[in-house]
């Protein structure tokens, strides 16, 4: 069944093109063959209500009566878009993630191992203890005035308290909005204001590799920005994670002077933090006084569970909203089948809980299955490039899930860092976040997996809640670089620009869309349902549009070709070009900016910017670093452009629209521009080519 043509990648000497599931894995798998997958898949799409209600019965429901198991409209021409699964039924995801397992005798099972940034730092928590801590935290939140439906922002490092906070919110029905603790104060404040969060939970600081981050200071600055824009954050809970010797400066005036110092050079034990009496509370103090018993709030299946911001093409991030029942079913089921979960597994997803991957596959998916997982605070290269495999051996990890960018980084450091560790426990290797190049896939399979593990390339989005295209490790033969086949309940199609269905197996590229809802699909953009409809449903009425390009080969395998909108996928994180441009424009020297994606060996894509300067400004190295910094400050360090070039003018159409297609060509130095007759001034292009930075 090899579709060799698809697989050939010049730089790769393809040994085999299709990889059958490893026999041992197949023997124990929940789905053992292609035929069995096809049967289940057919049922899931022909009779979704039956399929998902069988699954729903495995959870605890306070009340399992629904008006209609599934109701939806995917077609803007027929009225508002909506999706409702199991409306009327009541449950609590925290109860299903913890209490249910304790009732089944799993109180002493490890829920999480915690591995610190430093290899000597570690901890663990059982399901029994997790329940106590979650209940205490839930009671703390209640005592601070947080109620069902309130939004709580979480800005935390990868520590056990992070999972405790998220589950505590879920327990009392508060909507958590986790912001990755790498975003800047400004990004954090935008998100806190948009969601009108009542409280923020953070920690004093964190070490990431050799870098010390002052999270409390970032939060203080964000709260100040919120205040300036008329939103008061009532409470901040601070976990003391670094050192009890931190120097604390008490402020009684919440809006008072922030006493700022550059955070980077502070010694560990002299880490200063500002304290705002009345607003700030120490986690350990409030937790110590809190009761370890808390009745869950019984939630409607369609009540909101959490929101998570993702970049939008207009530059303003969208609060993707997920609801309790559908997300619970989908995160649990994808985890079970895609990682072929068994009770003796130790599962490790390296993603930060600040991204959707961490929500679904560090927390909810594994916990709802009663699995043992790992929360890792550090980074892949600290103290050395063997850290991942050292951890794999330390905890005997069976299923491992990471991003192509991490795989490519580690590949560069050589095989020895991998091969000096045994990795004997590994059975399944997963990847997510961006298309994986066959070369990296093959290295992952051959070097990390010793050719004995299944590799699952899982395609999904913040919006989809869980995997939507993926192989099942015991059933689906894999092809390096393909996300393979739809998960249960997913009906993919590939459409042309004008909405015609591209025949299956034709290998023609088009827009990847889904024809019917699955339980984990987002329900709305928080506070802006119209934007939800416009972004995902307007272009192709009747379909959810992913924004990704794809093609399907003659075996029916789907190959993602990348974003077709103005999004850039940097190391597996989506950024909009507009977001970066609006940051650049804030610099006094810039009159106009345009940014495009540029291929990058490790990050997949990186950001390449063109800036037009105002009269009287020079494009100096100093300006260049100021421009990079403004993006770091406005969005976060991970968004920093790799290239910024001087653009005395931008290529525009006569109607004034920037022709990004041309900018993408300039960025990669490709002079084959195609048709440029719509350009208002063709001479602009030559100038841009001349001014390209040499290293690009």
Residues that bind ligand WT7 (CB under 6 A): 310, 356-357, 432-435, 457-462, 483, 546-548, 560, 563, 569, 572-574
d(CA 231, CA 192): 9
Rounded least distance, CB 486 to ligand WT7, Å: 13
Q: In the complex with ligand WT7, which residue's Cβ is closer, 74 or 460?
A: 460
Nearer to ligand WT7, 372 or 402 (CB): 402
| Closest listed residue to residue 568, CA positions, set 603, 606, 602 | 606
Residue among 239 and 349 whose Cβ is closer to ligand WT7: 349
Q: Given the complex with ligand WT7, which of 290 and 524 has the nearer CB atom?
A: 524
For tokens 């023609």, the residue is 508
Closest to ligand WT7 by CB, 7 or 627: 7
| Minimum distance, C-beta of residue 563 to ligand WT7, in the bound complex (Å) | 5
- Write the CB contacts of 253 (distance below 8 Å, at least 6 apart in sequence): 276
Q: Are 84 and 300 in contact (CB under 8 A)?
A: no
Strands (E), 169-326: 175-178, 199-203, 206-208, 211-213, 235-239, 247-251, 272-276, 280-282, 299-300, 304-310, 318-323
Nearer to ligand WT7, 532 or 610 (CB): 532
- Residue 109 phi/psi, 5° resolution? -70, 140
Nearest distance, CB of residue 510 and ligand WT7, angstroms? 15
CB 507 within 8 A of CB 553: yes
DSSP code of 447? I
Nearest distance in Å: CB 314, ligand WT7: 16
Q: CB-wise, 136 or 563, nearer to ligand WT7?
A: 563
Helix or strand or coil: residue 398? coil
With CA atoms as reference, report the closest residue to 394 among 157, 125, 114. 114
State the minimum distance, in angstroms, from the CB of residue 189 to ligand WT7: 21
Residue number, 297 or 548, with CB nearest to ligand WT7: 548
Nearer residue to ligand WT7 within complex by CB, 283 or 488:
488
Q: How far apart are CA 219 and CA 156, in angstroms?
A: 10
Closest approach of ligand WT7 to the CB of residue 429, in Å:
13
**Pairing between β-strand 206-208 and β-strand 346-349 as defined by DSSP bridges:** unpaired
Closest contact distance (angstroms) between CB of 663 and ligand WT7 is 20
Torsion angle of C-alpha atoms 177, 309, 306, 483, degrees rounded to 10 = -130
Which distant-in-sequence residues (6+ apart) come within 8 Å of 653 by Cβ? 659, 678, 679, 680
CB of residue 459 vs ligand WT7: minimum separation in angstroms? 4
- Please state the closest distance from residue 573 (CB atom) to ligand WT7, in A: 6
In contact, 275 and 251? CB cutoff 8 Å = yes
Q: Measured between alpha carbons, how far is 302 from 327 in angstroms, rounded to an integer?
A: 10
Which DSSP string corresponds to 131-170?
HHHHHHHHHHHHHTT--TT-EEEEE--SSHHHHHHHHHHH
d(C-alpha 96, C-alpha 110), whole Å = 16
Which CB, 408 or 587, lies closer to ligand WT7? 408
Least separation in angstroms between residue 431's CB and ligand WT7 is: 6
The 8-class DSSP code of residue 670 comes to -
Nearest-approach distance from CB 381 to ligand WT7, in angstroms: 21
Distance of closest approach, residue 547 Cβ to ligand WT7, in angstroms: 6
Smallest distance from ligand WT7 to CB 571, Å: 10
CB of 296 or CB of 510, closer to ligand WT7: 510
CA distance 232 to 335: 38
Q: Residue 494: phi, psi to the nearest 5?
A: -120, 125
DSSP state letters, 6-41? HH--TT---S-S-BPPPHHHHHH-SS-SHHHHHHHH
CB of 200 to ligand WT7, least distance (A): 22
In angstroms, rounded to a whole number, what is the distance separating the alpha carbons of residues 476 and 558?
A: 13
Beta-strand relationship, 122-126 and 492-495: unpaired
End-to-end C-alpha distance for the chain, whole angstroms: 40
Nearest residue to ligand WT7 on Cβ basis: 462
| Run of H or E residues at 217 | helix 215-228
H-helix or E-strand containing 411? helix 404-412
- Which CB sits closer to ligand WT7, 438 or 547? 547
Closest separation in Å from C-beta 566 to ligand WT7: 12
CB-nearer residue toward ligand WT7: 135 or 550: 550
Q: Which is nearer to ligand WT7, 221 or 571 (CB)?
A: 571
Complex with ligand WT7: residue 410 or 440, whichever CB lies closer: 440
With contact defined as beta carbons under 8 Å apart, do 53 and 326 qualify? no
**CA 131 centroid distance within chain:** 26
| Cβ proximity to ligand WT7, 132 vs 548, nearer residue | 548
Least gap, CB of 607 to ligand WT7 (angstroms): 15
Which backbone phi and psi does 666 adopt, to 5 degrees? Answer: -60, -45
Length of the chain measured in residues:
696
């Amino acid at each position: 069944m090899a579709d060799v043509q698809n697989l050939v990648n010049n730089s790769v000497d393809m040994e085999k093109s299709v990889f059958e599931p490893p026999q041992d894995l197949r023997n124990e798998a929940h789905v053992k063959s292609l035929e069995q997958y096809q049967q289940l898949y057919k049922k899931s799409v022909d009779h979704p209500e039956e399929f998902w209600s069988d699954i729903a019965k495995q959870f605890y429901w306070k009340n399992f009566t629904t008006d209609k198991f599934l109701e939806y409209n995917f077609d803007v021409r027929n009225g508002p878009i909506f999706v409702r699964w199991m409306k009327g039924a009541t449950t609590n995801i925290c109860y299903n993630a913890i209490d249910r397992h304790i009732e089944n005798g799993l109180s002493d099972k490890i829920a999480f191992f915690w591995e610190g940034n430093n290899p000597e730092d570690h901890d663990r928590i059982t399901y029994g203890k997790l329940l106590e801590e979650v209940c205490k935290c839930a009671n703390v939140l209640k005592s601070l005035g947080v109620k069902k439906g309130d939004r709580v922002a979480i800005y935390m490092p990868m520590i056990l308290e992070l999972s405790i906070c998220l589950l505590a919110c879920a327990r009392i029905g508060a909507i958590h909005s986790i912001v990755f603790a790498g975003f800047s104060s400004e990004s954090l404040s935008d998100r806190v204001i948009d969601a009108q969060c009542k409280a923020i939970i953070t920690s004093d600081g964190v070490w990431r590799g050799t870098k010390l981050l002052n999270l409390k200071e970032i939060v203080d600055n964000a709260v100040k920005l919120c205040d300036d824009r008329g939103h008061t954050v009532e409470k901040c809970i601070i976990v003391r994670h670094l050192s009890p010797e931190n120097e604390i400066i008490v402020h009684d005036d919440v809006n008072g002077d922030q006493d700022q110092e550059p955070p980077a050079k502070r010694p560990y034990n002299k880490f200063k933090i500002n304290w705002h009496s009345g607003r700030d509370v120490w986690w350990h103090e409030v937790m110590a006084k809190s009761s370890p018993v808390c009745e869950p709030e019984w939630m409607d299946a369609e009540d909101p569970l959490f929101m998570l911001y993702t970049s939008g093409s207009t530059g303003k991030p969208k609060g993707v909203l997920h609801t309790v029942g559908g997300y619970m079913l989908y995160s649990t089921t994808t985890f079970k089948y895609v990682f072929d979960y068994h009770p003796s597994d130790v599962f490790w997803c390296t993603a930060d809980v600040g991204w959707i991957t961490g929500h679904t596959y560090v927390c909810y998916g594994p916990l709802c299955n009663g699995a043992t997982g790992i929360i890792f605070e550090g980074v892949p290269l600290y103290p050395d490039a063997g850290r991942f495999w050292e951890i794999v051996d330390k905890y005997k990890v069976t299923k491992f899930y990471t991003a192509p960018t991490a795989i490519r980084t580690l590949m560069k450091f050589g095989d020895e860092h991998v091969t000096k560790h045994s990795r004997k426990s590994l059975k399944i290797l997963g990847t997510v976040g961006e298309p994986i190049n066959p070369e990296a896939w093959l290295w992952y399979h051959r070097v990390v997996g010793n050719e004995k593990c299944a590799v699952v390339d899982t395609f999904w989005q913040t919006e989809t809640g869980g995997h939507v295209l993926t192989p099942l490790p015991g059933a689906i033969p894999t092809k390096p670089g393909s996300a393979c086949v739809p998960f249960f309940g997913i009906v993919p199609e590939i459409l042309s620009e004008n909405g015609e269905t591209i025949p299956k197996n034709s290998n023609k590229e088009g827009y990847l869309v889904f024809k019917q809802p699955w339980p984990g699909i987002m329900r709305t953009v928080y506070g802006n349902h119209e934007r939800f409809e416009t972004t995902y449903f307007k272009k192709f009425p009747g379909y959810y549009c992913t924004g990704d390009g794809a093609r399907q080969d003659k075996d029916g395998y789907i190959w993602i070709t990348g974003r077709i909108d103005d999004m850039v996928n940097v190391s597996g994180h989506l950024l909009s070009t507009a977001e970066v441009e609006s940051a650049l424009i804030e610099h006094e020297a810039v009159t106009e900016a345009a940014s495009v994606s540029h291929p990058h060996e490790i990050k997949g894509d990186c950001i390449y910017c063109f800036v037009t300067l105002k009269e009287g400004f020079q494009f100096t190295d100093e300006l260049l670093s100021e421009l990079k910094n403004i993006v770091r400050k406005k969005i976060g360090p991970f968004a920093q452009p790799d290239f910024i070039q001087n653009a005395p003018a931008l290529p525009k159409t006569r109607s004034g629209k920037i022709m990004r297609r041309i900018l993408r060509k300039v960025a990669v130095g490709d002079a084959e521009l195609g048709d440029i007759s719509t350009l208002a001034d063709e001479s602009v292009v030559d100038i841009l080519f001349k001014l390209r930075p040499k290293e690009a």
